[in-house]
Structure 1
Amino acid sequence: MNPANAVNLDEDTLHKEARAWVSRLKTSSLTSRQARELRRWCGRSPSHAAAFAHAREMWDATPQDREQWLREAKLMKKRGHQPLRRALLGGLLVGGGLYLLAKPPLQLWPSLADLRADYRTGAGEQRRVQLMDHVWLDMNTRSRLNVSDDPHLGRVVALLDGEVEVRQSERSASVATVFAGVGSIQTFNGRTNIRYLNGQTQVTCLSGSAQVDVGGQGYRLGAGEQLVYGRHAISSVQTVAAENLPSWRQGRLAFHEQPLSQVLAELNRYWAGHLILRDATLGSVLVSFAVSLDNLPEVLEVLQQVYGVQVMCLPGGIALLSRA
């Protein structure tokens, strides 16, 4: 057999197995044993994890193919094809834990995707990773990324979720490349903040310069400039006011006339627990304040004293917010 054909055959089998797992996951309840087997299968290699993630996205994006997937899965089962028996890594899931690990309620513990990342941070955690000589990544809270070597680009970063600041000394001759969402960012001799959340990427050049490539177009950013892009839209390059520049690297969060719902969404990325808005009408209230990351509970005092929000604190860092 031609080696190239062997590779294709292996890839075909891999994706069939991934589709079979997603079909089972979406149409029936997994037993604890099956949940452990799926965890082992995803852990066999980055390719397995990526195939499962892709299949899960395609199930939602192409409902017209689901019947074919189900027939394919039944055929594999009928032939006795059980790749999970060969998995090498130990399982982490018990009972009905697969769903809880894949989608932790209120983000109270790491997800399956978190555990597969090369580097990750938890709520309120920040971390520095040296990418190469004179180039560092500062990871913000609840972020995850993978690092690999590309024969053409050198060391590259895949920002899977969250926020990083790329920092390069002036002595650096290297170019850092970060893939985030549907685009890529290259940074040069300075600091660039890259935020990728909910399918949207925000690139803010703080010093030096950055090159953003998305949708076949290239955009050059200088200090104080920002570009936002997603799967279906790209903003123009904007100049960012000093008070709106990312401030987490200075150990603080600042909000200026922002809806409370957006503020809470941002705070929940740092909060070891969860802030829950019980009254939806409060979400549109505009708030302005700054808080130190070392003293986040002060937020509750500000909301109570300045904005008249009633706060009920529960165990586990959970707080319920409603009108007084």
Structure 2
Amino acid sequence: MPTCPPLSVLSDDALDWQVLLHSGNATAADRARYQRWCRLSPAHAEAATEAEALWRDLGHTPTAQATPLTPRRWRRLSALAASLVLCMAGYGAWQQLPAWRADYHTSVGQRQSLTLADGSRVTLNSASALSVVYSDHERKVVLEAGEALFETVADPRPFVVQASGAAVTGNAAVFSVRRVSGGDQVLLAEGQAQVDGQALQPAADARTRTAWQRGKLIFNGKPLGQVLAELERYQHGRIVIPDSQLAALEVSGVFDLDDPHALLRTLEQRYGLKVTYLPFLAVVY
């Protein structure tokens, strides 16, 4: 008869299951596999019950606040928080790799403006990195990470921004480029710019979408999940909202980037939300 894994291993596996089941990506097959996993042994069932209780203790249900923490569950919750700290520290170090090799970079929550040799101005957003590769024939910059707003001056040499995908060219123009998973987001505010030769049109809401350079975040009827994802860029750690219905709540307002934690407090007060804080993790419900 095979030996059952230690409870500590099963507890970690059970927490992994909770992350999957509450990620919004779990399928019916995943839930069925989880039920089969729970029935493998009494130890599996115990680990599952404990993990489900810990998940509630993170604030995923309003009734969790009324559930007392036993010493054992408190130790497990503390251990989970410590594990999250280590994971985020490792992730943060990995995130900073592009910055270590870039000419200019910002840390999380920091913004920086700089003037290049030709007089063009660049504003780097939070956790961004930029390298400059000027030559006699081309004014090229490489956006290694994050987002930057470019205010380019007229010059016989083309101004080219290379990010994760296509090259963006703009002369005497104001535009932003942001690296995102699966490609780049390019926003033209003034002048003329092209992406791989395709002309861009100035965005009507460019001033609102580039308000970060002025230290503001502006939202008008945006889903709460999208707002929290944007806020997460300006502070260390993760912001989790497991309720898909709540994530769809429309949010409007102007928020100060110099105090990103105040944004969560404002959302709590204005929309009746609750937030449970752990090291490098905030759970909104």
**Aligned counterpart for 1:129 among listed residues 114, 130, 133:** 114
- 1:166 equivalenced with 2:150 (yes/no): yes
Does structure 2 conserve the Cα–Cα contact (< 8 Å) formed by 1:148 and 1:156?
yes
The 4+ residue runs of structure 1 with deviation greater than 6 A are 100-103
Report what 2:261 is aligned to: 297
Could you report, residue by residue, the CA deviation over 1:44-71 in whole angstroms, capped at 9, with x for unpaired residues? Answer: xxxxxxxxxxxxxxxxxxxxxxxxxxxx
Does structure 1 conserve the Cα–Cα contact (< 8 Å) formed by 2:111 and 2:213?
no
Counterparts in 2 of 1:278 and 1:109: CA distance versus 1, 3 Å? farther
Does structure 2 conserve the Cα–Cα contact (< 8 Å) formed by 1:137 and 1:164?
yes
Does structure 2 conserve the Cα–Cα contact (< 8 Å) formed by 1:108 and 1:272?
no
TM superposition shift of 1:112? 2.9
- 1:117 equivalenced with 2:107 (yes/no): no
Report what 1:319 is aligned to: 282
Q: Secondary structure at the match of 2:107?
A: coil
TM superposition shift of 1:279? 3.6
Counterparts in 2 of 1:197 and 1:295: CA distance versus 1, 3 Å? same
What is the rounded CA distance, in whole Å, between the counterparts of 1:163 and 1:295 in structure 2?
20
Does structure 2 conserve the Cα–Cα contact (< 8 Å) formed by 1:104 and 1:111?
no
**Aligned counterpart for 2:241 among listed residues 259, 264, 277:** 277
In structure 2, what residue type is equivalent to 1:159?
A: L
Does structure 1 conserve the Cα–Cα contact (< 8 Å) formed by 2:124 and 2:149?
yes
Q: Give the TM-score normalised by structure 2.
A: 0.61
Could you report, residue by residue, the CA deviation over 1:187-224 in whole angstroms, capped at 9, with x for unpaired residues? Answer: 111311111211322222212221221xxxx22235xx
- 1:148 equivalenced with 2:133 (yes/no): yes
TM superposition shift of 1:107? 3.8
Long gaps (5+) in structure 1 = 1-99, 226-238
Report what 2:169 is aligned to: 186
Report what 1:202 is aligned to: 185
Report what 2:141 is aligned to: 157
Long gaps (5+) in structure 2 = 1-84
TM superposition shift of 1:268? 0.9
Q: Secondary structure at the match of 1:309?
A: coil
User: RMSD value over aligned CA atoms?
Assistant: 2.9
Count how many residue pairs are aligned between Structure 1 and Structure 2.
Answer: 201
Q: Secondary structure at the match of 1:298?
A: helix
Does structure 2 conserve the Cα–Cα contact (< 8 Å) formed by 1:129 and 1:137?
yes
TM superposition shift of 1:174? 4.8
Could you report, residue by residue, the CA deviation over 1:22-80 in whole angstroms, capped at 9, with x for unpaired residues? Answer: xxxxxxxxxxxxxxxxxxxxxxxxxxxxxxxxxxxxxxxxxxxxxxxxxxxxxxxxxxx
Q: Give the TM-score normalised by structure 1.
A: 0.54
Report what 1:70 is aligned to: none
What is the rounded CA distance, in whole Å, between the counterparts of 1:275 and 1:157 in structure 2?
32
Does structure 1 conserve the Cα–Cα contact (< 8 Å) formed by 2:275 and 2:284?
yes
Higher strand share: 1
Report what 2:252 is aligned to: 288
In structure 1, what residue type is equivalent to 2:264?
A: L
Report what 1:266 is aligned to: 230
- 1:241 equivalenced with 2:205 (yes/no): yes
Report what 2:198 is aligned to: 219
In structure 1, what residue type is equivalent to 2:223?
A: P
What is the rounded CA distance, in whole Å, between the counterparts of 1:109 and 1:302 in structure 2?
31
